[in-house]
Amino acid sequence: MVDETYLVRALENNEFDIFRDEYFNLHPYDRAQFYFKLNPELRVKIYEYLSPEEMGEIIENIDADDEDYEPLFAEMNAQYAADTLSRMYTDDAVDVLNELTKDQAASYLTIMDQESAKEIKNLLHYEEYTAGSIMTTEFISIPEHSTVRSAMAILRNKAPDAETIYYTFVINEDRKLVGVVSLRDLITSEEDRLIKEIMSDRVVSVSVSEDQENAARMMKDYDFLALPVVDFQQHLLGIITVDDIIDVLDEEASDDYSKLAGVSDMDSRDRTPLRAAKKRLPWLIALLFLGMLTANLIGSFEDTLEQVAILAVFIPLIAGMAGNTGTQALAVAVRSIATGDIKDESKMKLIMREAGTGLITGTVCGILVTGIVYFWQGSFFLGLLVGFSIFASLIVATLAGSLVPLIMHRFNIDPAVASGPFITTINDIISILIYFGIATTFMGYLT
């Protein structure tokens, strides 16, 4: 393991050869992390020590937030930055350019070599979060009438620039995708055999306009290392590799989690309280008004509370239990939708299962609370009131937690926006209505 302090000292002392020898002993990911953690003054020295191709590999391995790329490229000489982008895999270069200002991106595209700029521009016009926006054009394709010998020659020639060589995609004369052949098949087949004879024509592909989350689900389901991307006429446009899918899964999981928490964006680090507050305030203000509705609802049962003040003690218990149960059901439903487990024929099955879960948990918690309140307050009817309110609230909360995301999904709205705080507040209102409605109806038994 290379001592990072030793590397820093070599940079500070301008020991060019020592730094390069030790730096390239690191794993590519560790090189990227070392570079990213350096202060700007020392990073500028790295640009003198490394070629654009070497810097491109570092940028590809950086696990940075979106807003971190702009200052990094601002430190570089413009031509060096453009050359670095042109040496990166096209899909990675596009990811970086999408996070820079439009002026920066246009400047780099203007001064980089025309061939690289053309490939990058071809990907930049695809809509964000689609298969086209994350695919790479560095792949290997071979004609279906090629022999294994000629295919291996193509592979040897193009492999250095390809992102993956484990799958080779087969195209016809019109450049339409017709098959796929694995590296193993090429190695084990006789050299004179035609590719058409050994390829698999059962090719799973994804449309260039398909949502990236659906593409990720396909790769997970089929255990692919690469997924071909085609247009509506089945022309092969590019491939999506497993490393990009891992990034998509991480991005989608973070997005869903942030929405479940009632935060609009958690992809980037909030370096100032003002930025963090700006992201959280919209949901909090909306929930504030819902909370005022809850307070007003309790106020409408003022006469009931005046006659039986002890009822106020159990408001947090009933509302909290309903909110927690609804959030649990919401998490199950959102996960089922996100993973693709939920199909049209199983939606009712999910609802019935959650209803059954609510019935069981409501019965157990209701009986338990009835006994506790009876022994605590000495009033069997008060215990029965609180217990039955929890029983009914848990059933309704569980159904609400599962139904709301399903309805939103039906109308093509991201179900994750039915966030935990939102469901909790809605269930607070429902549970209080149930609790005080029953209490008001049977007031004579309480007084």
Predicted local confidence at residue 193, as pLDDT: 94
The predicted structure's pLDDT at residue 64: 64
CA–CA distance, 111 with 125 (Å, rounded to integer): 19
CATH architecture of 273-446: Orthogonal Bundle (1.10)
pLDDT, residue 344, reads: 54
The residues with which 313 forms a beta bridge, in sequence order, are none
Q: What is the pLDDT of residue 429?
A: 85
Residues 6 or more apart from 426 whose CB is under 8 A from it? Answer: 290, 326, 400, 404
pLDDT given at position 402? 86
Instruction: Report the distance separating Cα 422 and Cα 287, nearest Å.
Output: 7
As a whole number of angstroms, the distance between CA 54 and CA 50 comes to: 6
* Fold category of 4-125 in CATH: MgtE N-terminal fold (1.25.60)
The pLDDT score that the predictor gives to residue 228 is: 95
pLDDT tens digits, one per residue of 370-408: 999 999 988 888 899 999 999 999 999 999 888 888 887
- Residues 107, 90: Cα–Cα separation, whole Å: 17
User: pLDDT at residue 281 above 90?
Assistant: no
Q: Report the distance separating Cα 286 and Cα 173, nearest Å.
A: 58
Rounded Cα gap, residues 139 and 146, in angstroms: 17
pLDDT of residue 420: 63
pLDDT of residue 416: 62
At 187 the pLDDT is: 92
Q: What was the pLDDT predicted at 426?
A: 81
pLDDT at residue number 5: 86
Give the tens place of pLDDT for each residue, 16-65.
Answer: 888 998 899 999 999 999 999 898 899 998 998 899 999 999 999 887 66
In the predicted model, what is the mean pLDDT of residues 80-89?
93
Q: What is the pTM of this model?
A: 0.64
207, containing H or E segment:
strand 206-207
For the segment 313-361, what is each residue's pLDDT rounded down to a tens digit? Answer: 888 888 888 888 888 888 788 777 766 666 655 778 888 888 899 999 9
Q: Which one, of 348, 328, 342, 326, lies nearest residue 399 by Cα? A: 326
DSSP 8-state class, residue 385: H
**H helices present in 223-345, as ranges:** 242-260, 273-299, 302-307, 315-338
How confident is the model over 186-242, as pLDDT tens digits?
A: 999 999 999 999 999 999 999 999 999 889 888 888 888 899 999 999 999 999 998
Tokens, residue 431: 């549970």
Q: What is the per-residue pLDDT for 347?
A: 78
- The pLDDT of residue 357 is 92
State the span(s) of the chain assigned CATH 1.25.60.10: 4-125
Mean pLDDT of the chain: 85
Q: Which of 204, 74, 72, 214 lies closest to 134, judged by CA? A: 214
∠ Cα 25 54 151 (to 5°): 100
First to last CA, the chain: 77
Alpha helices (H) in 62-211, listed in sequence order? 69-75, 78-87, 90-99, 102-111, 114-124, 131-134, 148-158, 183-188, 195-198
Give the alpha-carbon dihedral of 402, 408, 409, 413, to 10 degrees: -140
pLDDT at 6: 85
> CA distances (Å), 297 to each of 56, 269, 287, 302, 433, in order?
60, 39, 15, 9, 8
Residues of the chain with CATH 1.10.357.20: 273-446
Third-level CATH fold of 141-250 = CBS-domain (3.10.580)
pLDDT at 406: 83
Q: Which residues contact 112 (CB under 8 A, 6 or more apart)?
A: 82, 83, 85, 86
